[in-house]
Amino acid sequence: MSMPLIQLQGITKTYGSGELASTVLNDIDITIYRGEFVAIMGSSGSGKSTLMNIMGCLDKPSSGEYWLQGQDVASLSRDQLAELRRDTFGFVFQSYHLLAGISARDNVAVPAVYSGLSRPERQQKADQLLTTLGLADRLENKPNQLSGGQQQRVSIARALMNGGEIILADEPTGALDSQSGADVMALLTRLARAGHTVILITHDPKVADQADRRIEISDGVVVSDPGPSKKAKVPALPAQAHGHGSLTAELFEAVRTAFSALSSNLFRAALTLLGIVIGVASVITMLAIGNGSQQEVVQSISAMGSNLLSVRPGAPNQFGRRATSTLVAADMQAIKELPNIEAVVPEIGGSATLRFGNVDHSPEINGTSADFVRARLWPVAKGTFFTEEDEQGYATVAVIGQSVAEALFPEQEPLGQYVMINTNLFQVIGVMSAKGASPWGQDQDDVVFVPYTTGGLRLFGQQFLRNITVSVSEVEHINDTEAEIKRLLIARHGGEDFQIRNMSSIIETVSATTQTFTWLLGSIAAISLLVGGIGVMNIMLVSVSERTREIGIRMATGAHTRHILQQFLIEALVVSALGGAIGVALGLAATALLGSVGVAVYFSLAPVLLAFGCAFATGLVFGWLPARKAARLDPVVALSSE
């Protein structure tokens, strides 16, 4: 005789260990040749299913040797075993084990997914098999739309999908009425005649009688075996078409499966999606708002003029220590003599109380020079600004901001009126045009300008300037001018006890600050994305435990570890990519809406890519654990789960 197809030698299976150990199979020797039709018979609990799972490479024996087609099964890896199941075995179970969510045709096609057949090829072959088995008019039906007998025929068709050289049928008629049972037995007999090796497991002697050889087991021991049945000639099985499944086709299939799995529980999928959607949308919106306010701040600072230099008292890099007593009016006069200087505006100030009639008001008091209007591009609305003569003559004149005008002179004409500042009377000679709030939200119109000379003498009791703003005539030479002012002041003061900043350095500082603000907003939003990711993980874990049996079926029909991993990972990625896409749309819509109601928003592509990328990464990271859990399941354990 030729080489045995299946050779079991001293196979033992023990569950548990120590005191609780129970030996379910004990020293089983069975040899089966190609083309045999064998019934393994025994009462319930005798170990038949355990034996079948070992023969089908779904389970491993505790000891003993299993040679399949001359190959030691123990030496094979997990994936090699999967390939063996895919190419050699076809399983038929008592409870059919069909996937509930998909049609008869798709159920039959499952094993060919893992042998790399293209979708049309698979469907054509599945249709053909189902037609042969008398189910031509049930191709599109889902399992719950089929009778028990029909479901069992679908599962037989599935067993034949990749050839089904060895058909392992565990109580295939156990759940069927007698007519359907007879049909199924006739079918298995036909397959055995056609050259398939059929191993039938049953507790029913009448069913066992239909096989050519009957092996009886009892309490895990073979009690009778007539030995291999002689056969004149085993017909050859048709060669199986194997696809060369490309990874793209595989991924495409996984995405399809993911969508159908998600659509089978739409409400749950939608809730999970919502977590990601909110996360992505808020990242985009928050970054747009952050960047928008940054742009606004930078713009309003630039609007003050890019030709300005600011000289402040205090040595550079001495934060916190505010030296206020180094700049004096003479410094300012000296700067005025330098080339490329358009205007020099000192600033001396503090707050003081203004009184008109019985109304008190405490605005910012700013002692400055006549050049202020020109340097700051801030015109007078009414009356005039004070002149250089006023400065030199210590004139008690004041120009008030709009907010001060409104507070002190709600009904009167302010020009020409006398107001009391501290204990001095000042005449109002002008009202500034409205400036609005500063980028920091401060009311810039709540201010009173007086000549710096008068201010120093009468209001602040000191001559030191808190700032000198220099405007240059030619912006392109601003750096030279800055260097010259520095040299001049070092010479005058005998050291660097001041700082000069130009507009670009100020803008840099301010935008660094607002950048921090943007990141803060962004990271709060990112946390919500993280929460969304945890939602994905949660749903995937639920999905894995709900679909453990499906995983078992897929493994039994030849899915590699990688296929299962891929399937669940892609499901997580589909959720998060879909959520990401909807989130991007929503985020852009929210940004546009906020922009249209006047919130400063700045839109750029980077946050969109960032948010979408984060959503995708979230799916990958949080999908990984559940997917790995699924992929590591033991096929028998997965199959027997409810």
Q: Name the segment binding ligand ADP (CB under 6 A); options: 41-49, 112-120, 320-328, 410-418.
A: 41-49
| Minimal distance, residue 276 CB to ligand ADP, in Å | 39
DSSP string, 455-506: IIIIISS----SEEEEEES-GGGHHHHHHHHHHHHHHHHTS--EEEEEHHHH
Any contact of residue 42 with ligand ADP (CB under 6 A)?
yes
**Could you tell me if 292 and 592 are in contact, meaning their C-beta atoms sit under 8 angstroms apart?**
no
Nearest residue to Mg ion on Cβ basis? 49
Query: Contact with ligand ADP (CB under 6 A): which of 48, 86, 153, 547?
Result: 48
Q: Which two tokens stand for residue 628?
A: 């790995």
- Contact partner, 47, from ligand ADP, Mg ion, none, Cβ < 5-8 Å per class: ligand ADP
| Minimal distance, residue 24 CB to Mg ion, in Å | 11
Closer to ligand ADP at the Cβ: 46 or 180? Answer: 46
| Minimal distance, residue 171 CB to ligand ADP, in Å | 8
Query: Contact with ligand ADP (CB under 6 A): which of 4, 35, 47, 522?
Result: 47
| Minimal distance, residue 107 CB to ligand ADP, in Å | 24
Closer to ligand ADP at the Cβ: 219 or 497? Answer: 219
How far apart (Å, rounded) are the C-alpha atoms in residues 475 and 100? 76
Any contact of residue 15 with ligand ADP (CB under 6 A)?
yes
Q: Which two tokens stand for residue 28?
A: 């089983």
Q: Name the segment binding ligand ADP (CB under 6 A); options: 48-56, 432-440, 514-522, 612-620.
A: 48-56
DSSP alpha helix (H) spans, 327-477? 329-336, 372-376, 388-392, 402-408, 452-454
Query: Contact with ligand ADP (CB under 6 A): which of 45, 134, 205, 316?
Result: 45
Cα atoms in the Cβ-side hemisphere of radius 13 Å centred on 247: 2
**Cα distances (angstroms) measured from residue 580 to each of 266, 281, 519, 612:** 17, 8, 20, 5
| DSSP for residue 338 | S
Any contact of residue 50 with ligand ADP (CB under 6 A)?
yes
| Minimal distance, residue 143 CB to ligand ADP, in Å | 23
**Could you tell me if 450 and 366 are in contact, meaning their C-beta atoms sit under 8 angstroms apart?**
yes
Contacts 24+ apart (CB under 8 A), 388-391: 390/451, 390/454, 391/451, 391/452, 391/453, 391/454
How far apart (Å, rounded) are the C-alpha atoms in residues 544 and 636? 16
> Which residues 296-325 are close enough to bind ligand ADP by CB under 6 A?
none
Contacts of 25 (CB under 8 A, 6+ apart): 11, 12, 13, 47, 50, 51, 54, 61, 220
Contacts of 164 (CB under 8 A, 6+ apart): 89, 90, 191, 196
- Contact partner, 205, from ligand ADP, Mg ion, none, Cβ < 5-8 Å per class: none
Any contact of residue 109 with ligand ADP (CB under 6 A)?
no
Q: Name the segment binding ligand ADP (CB under 6 A); options: 38-46, 322-330, 405-413, 462-470.
A: 38-46
Closer to ligand ADP at the Cβ: 16 or 134? Answer: 16
| Minimal distance, residue 65 CB to Mg ion, in Å | 23
What phi and psi values does residue 10 have, to the nearest 5 degrees?
A: 60, 40
Q: Which two tokens stand for residue 537?
A: 């993980």
How far apart (Å, rounded) are the C-alpha atoms in residues 303 and 280? 34
- Which residues sit at the interface with Mg ion, rule CB under 5 A? 49
Q: Name the segment binding ligand ADP (CB under 6 A); options: 42-50, 299-307, 363-371, 624-632.
A: 42-50
H/E segment holding residue 639: helix 635-639
What phi and psi values does residue 391 have, to the nearest 5 degrees?
A: -60, -50
| Minimal distance, residue 50 CB to ligand ADP, in Å | 3
Closer to ligand ADP at the Cβ: 220 or 314? Answer: 220
Any contact of residue 24 with ligand ADP (CB under 6 A)?
yes
**Could you tell me if 444 and 436 are in contact, meaning their C-beta atoms sit under 8 angstroms apart?**
yes
How far apart (Å, rounded) are the C-alpha atoms in residues 483 and 488? 9
- Contact partner, 619, from ligand ADP, Mg ion, none, Cβ < 5-8 Å per class: none
Q: Name the segment binding ligand ADP (CB under 6 A); options: 44-52, 238-246, 249-257, 365-373.
A: 44-52
Any contact of residue 46 with ligand ADP (CB under 6 A)?
yes
Closer to Mg ion at the Cβ: 49 or 618? Answer: 49
Please state whether beta strands 397-400 and 424-432 pair in parallel, antiparallel, or not at all (unpaired): parallel
Closer to ligand ADP at the Cβ: 63 or 604? Answer: 63
Closer to ligand ADP at the Cβ: 15 or 440? Answer: 15
Query: Contact with ligand ADP (CB under 6 A): which of 49, 294, 307, 366?
Result: 49
Q: Which residues of the chain form contacts with ligand ADP (CB under 6 A)?
A: 15, 24, 42, 44-50
